[in-house]
Amino acid sequence: MLNYPALLLAVLLFYRPFFHQFGDRWPINLGESLWAIVIGCMGFAPNVAVLIGLRLLQGVITGYSTACTTLIATQTDQEHAGWALGTLSTANIAGSLLGPLIGGFLSEHFGLQNVFFMTGALMMVSFFTTLFFVKESFQRTDKKVRHAKDIWNQIPEKGLTVTLFVTAFILTIALYSVEPIVTVFMGHLTNSSHLALLSGLAFSASGLANIIAAPRLGKLSDQIGAHKVMVIALFTAGLLFIPQAFVTAPWQLIVLRFLFGLTAGGLMPSVNIMIRKITPAALTGRVFGFSMSAMYLGVFGGSIFGGQIAAWLSIRAVFFVTAALLLVNGLWVYWRVYRQIATRPSRAQHIG
């Protein structure tokens, strides 16, 4: 009905330049309050056109996820940044997994219209919680950074920053490449009448594993270095995609997707940790905004990528091509990040 990831990408690129002038707490508060109102209004939508318009408005006032990531990254000390960002990643994924389940339960027992009212009320609770309990140490700067070119010129580690953006993009491509083919693939593996359930389990298994692994791997990144966790996770994730192409039973795919999620749980926290460490404090919010845009571009492109590969080649080819992307990205990160940090002790102390 509405290409939400693409809309989020466009809005993030538009709004992010203004956040660094006011801090990240205000877009969180503003976003929560406006989302509560807009989602509540969806319960009164008289037709599909109005509902689409409200969804569009919801996308226009977004920026919440980026602001949360930036706020936690900038307000947490470096020794605990990995754990904090890993916990945030866990919360995001848990919400993504539990949201549809809770929404389905509520709609079945209370009706679709009431789901919008309940969701709006929950957003308002979140707004007041943030308003009264979340604090930010922020000093407004008079120096205005207006253009992406100005931002780029002030980034000291340009090559490393690009590598991190590409890694975030490829990770989300890998996570969502199986979405359009998982139900069809499950249909080839079994004649069970519970096809939808098995497909949902296969797709969400990686998310469940991510919930378990992200905080622990984030903490490990604090201890041994984010660059080490990132390289190991990329290679392991790429290798785990290959046997998924050879499965002959649904349980095999579910187990492999779960194992993939365990390794993928170390990637986004590591990317966020490194972005925080290599980026000047005044630019952290802007750079995190670009990183989130790369992720949403991956969400937008992942399903298209998986569907097109399946149409041109085969369903099983999706796993091989995705594995190749992760392994090539792993080689690039090893060459451009791991080796350079390992051979430059001063840089390793600063970044690792």
What's the Rg (C-alpha) of the chain? 21
With a CB cutoff of 8 Å and minimum separation 6, the contacts of 118 are 106, 110
Fold of 148-351: Growth Hormone; Chain: A; (1.20.1250)
pLDDT at 181: 87
Alpha-carbon distance 40 to 21, whole Å? 30
pLDDT at 1: 45
CB atoms within 10 A of CB 331: 14
Alpha-carbon distance 323 to 306, whole Å? 12
Phi-psi region of 23 (alpha: psi -120 to 50; beta: other; left: phi over 0): left
Alpha-carbon distance 9 to 166, whole Å? 15
Instruction: Report the CATH superfamily, name and number, of domain 4-132.
Output: MFS general substrate transporter like domains (1.20.1250.20)
For the chain, the domains span 4-132, 148-351
Closest CA to 236 of 323, 341, 317, 333: 323
User: If 0-12 CB within 10 Å is exposed, 13-18 middle and 19+ buried, where does residue 8 land?
Assistant: buried
pLDDT at 15: 52
CB 36 within 8 A of CB 327: no
Phi-psi region of 17 (alpha: psi -120 to 50; beta: other; left: phi over 0): alpha
In degrees rounded to 5, what are phi and psi of residue 156?
Answer: -75, -30
Averaged pLDDT, groups of 10, the chain, 352 residues long: 49 51 67 85 90 81 69 73 71 70 77 89 89 72 59 78 90 86 86 78 81 83 86 94 93 92 85 82 75 81 89 93 95 86 59 56
Q: Which residue's entry shows tokens 């990254």? A: 73
Q: Which residue's entry shows tokens 């790429």? A: 238
Model pTM? 0.74
